[in-house]
Structure 1
Amino acid sequence: MWRVIQGTLTLASFMGIVQLSNDLRNPLLDALDAYNQRNAAKPVLNRIRTAEKAMAAATDAGQALPQTAANSLMIEHATVKIANRTILHDITLHITPGEKVLLMAPSGFGKSTLLRVLQGEIPLASGTYTVGGISASQINRVALRQHFGLVKQTPFLFNDTLRYNITLGASFSDKAVMTAVQTAGLAALVADKGLDYQVVENGQNLSGGQIQRIEIARALLHQRPVLLADEATSALDDQLADKVRREFLSGPETLIEVGHQVPAAVQAQYDRVIHLDQLSAQSA
């Protein structure tokens, strides 16, 4: 600029130099930004690759498990620890094929942890766990997880269509999908928005009740041999909760539901009601 003022450089030449410097600087800044983003993403990428390797190993390793309801579940003298803290101590639990069981205990006792143990997500610190007479530690982990359907209190929803969030990408007929939709109480939402309605990640454009109904529809549609229900109807009104519960109880699947405040009239609908806190105290 000083040379322009002195008259030794024209304004046009000065503007040309400025433009050329921007053309050189901007790509360098973009390259530096891309480099920083790549470095920031490295830990995430490493975790993804580790998970992919673990999944590949889980797919190849372990025994196959027949995907039938005729597999008993047996936990004997099991202790579960997380971060060196004992969550469950000396639990013994036998579930027969097709049995409808309600597990009750106070909040924070470890009911949800027990469901994770059943799916093979958490190993036992001591004791044994068998499915169909096969030690869970010897069963292919993918096969073990696919043996269970799970209805959680806080299900995860994908940034995808309503149909995808119900089917999870598996192939089902429209009739099968709509049957699950009707039973789970999603008919009004589907009639209003359609199955191609775009769900925001984690269901931020849906109500809590609608999110829980999607999780229930998933479980009804996929029909796993064992259904695990973690406070499955807590966000539903009494009428719909009763309808969903009757559907769970009438199916051929083994049902294991957990709760902490369940009316006596509802408890009477199950084959067995097991109080985990009492069971643990008796085993100790």
Structure 2
Amino acid sequence: MNSVRPLLENTVLQKPEPRQYDNLSFVNLSDKKKIIFDHCTLGYNNHAILKNINFEIFEGDKVLITGRSGIGKSTLFKSLLNELPLIKGKILIDKQLNKNNFLSNFGIVGQDTYIFSESLRFNLTLGKDIPSSRLIKVLKKVKLEYLANKNYLDTQIGDKGLSLSGGEKRKVKIARALLNKKDFLLVDEGLSGLDDNSRKQIFALLQSLPQTIIEIEHIMSIEDKQKFDQVINLDTK
């Protein structure tokens, strides 16, 4: 940390604070509704990519957002996270999700999961003081049973330690979100690039969680699509 401190303190290299937009309206929603996209037009620089998007997400829903590359799947996520302005419409949010920091409700699972060349414990907790018993419990929950013991918790992983597969790294990412009690998981192509066995394991794991899951996938079998509460095909919008 001492060696990299000059880089961390260099104002030229510091990432600017992301701009926040007024996309979200916090209101009382009924019937376990948590998020409503209300006649939303999404895009960049006032150029519409998706028009008149309307759907509702209920607590615990498993929602698949699909469509061809470039259709605007990730744009939808960015608009929900208030990183990109809506062109028209509003995103209605149950005000219970804004008791603290709205964004603290969300965990992100993507293709790339950063693994520190540190202990498994650190990669799960990111320095927070979390009991070993809880870490072991969540490792079992994400189907990393063979790592769920105190010896492995303090084993270094990354470049110089225990080597994890792509699927195992994504399970670690999901475990981080569970440890931080995220109510929503946004999965952005989280199944891409995995071998068939790992893909099936991660898919089954996500489907089994009580959290509300909003998942972007470019390719999904008809059989797997049928396991979602909602499938939103942006190609038809």
Q: TM-score, normalised by structure 1?
A: 0.64
Give yes or no for contact 2:41–2:53 (8 Å, CA) kept in 1.
yes
SS at match of 1:274: strand
The whole-number CA distance in structure 1 between the counterparts of 2:193 and 2:142 is: 12
| Alignment partner, residue 200 of structure 2 | 242
1:153 and 2:111 are equivalent in the alignment: yes
| Alignment partner, residue 121 of structure 1 | 83
Instruction: Give 1:181-192 correspondences, 5 Å limit.
Output: 181-188=139-146
SS at match of 2:207: helix
Cα distance change, pair 250–219 in 1 and its aligned pair in 2 (3 A):
same
1:73 to 30, 35, 38: 35
Q: Amino acid of the residue matched to residue 76 of structure 2? A: L
Instruction: Give 1:1-284 correspondences, 5 Å limit.
Output: 41-44=10-13, 47=14, 51=17, 70=32, 72-132=34-94, 143-188=101-146, 194-200=152-158, 206-278=164-236, 280=237
Counting matched residue pairs gives 225
The whole-number CA distance in structure 1 between the counterparts of 2:137 and 2:195 is: 20
How big is the shift at 1:217? 2.0
Cα distance change, pair 79–158 in 1 and its aligned pair in 2 (3 A):
farther
Q: Amino acid of the residue matched to residue 229 of structure 1? A: V
The whole-number CA distance in structure 2 between the counterparts of 1:89 and 1:63 is: 19
Cα distance change, pair 170–208 in 1 and its aligned pair in 2 (3 A):
same
The whole-number CA distance in structure 1 between the counterparts of 2:83 and 2:169 is: 24
| Alignment partner, residue 31 of structure 1 | none
Q: Write the deviation string for residues 214-235 of structure 1: whole angstroms up to 9, x where unpaired.
A: 2122233333222211222334
SS at match of 1:107: coil
Greater fraction strand:
2
Q: Write the deviation string for residues 196-229 of structure 1: whole angstroms up to 9, x where unpaired.
A: 333458x9x6543332222122233333222211
Identity of matched residues, %:
31
Q: Amino acid of the residue matched to residue 82 of structure 2? A: G
Unaligned ranges ≥5, structure 2: 1-5
The whole-number CA distance in structure 1 between the counterparts of 2:85 and 2:116 is: 28
Cα distance change, pair 233–217 in 1 and its aligned pair in 2 (3 A):
farther
Give yes or no for contact 1:209–1:235 (8 Å, CA) kept in 2.
no
Greater fraction helix:
1
Q: Which has the larger radius of gyration?
A: 1
Q: Which moved more, 1:172-181 or 1:263-272?
A: 172-181
The whole-number CA distance in structure 2 between the counterparts of 1:114 and 1:107 is: 13
Q: Write the deviation string for residues 33-86 of structure 1: whole angstroms up to 9, x where unpaired.
A: xxxx89x93412xx36x54xx79xx9xxx99999xxx55101122222334543
Q: TM-score, normalised by structure 2?
A: 0.75
Q: Amino acid of the residue matched to residue 111 of structure 2? A: Q
Give yes or no for contact 1:166–1:217 (8 Å, CA) kept in 2.
yes
- The structure showing larger relative contact order (alpha-carbon pairs under 8 Å, at least 6 residues apart) is 2
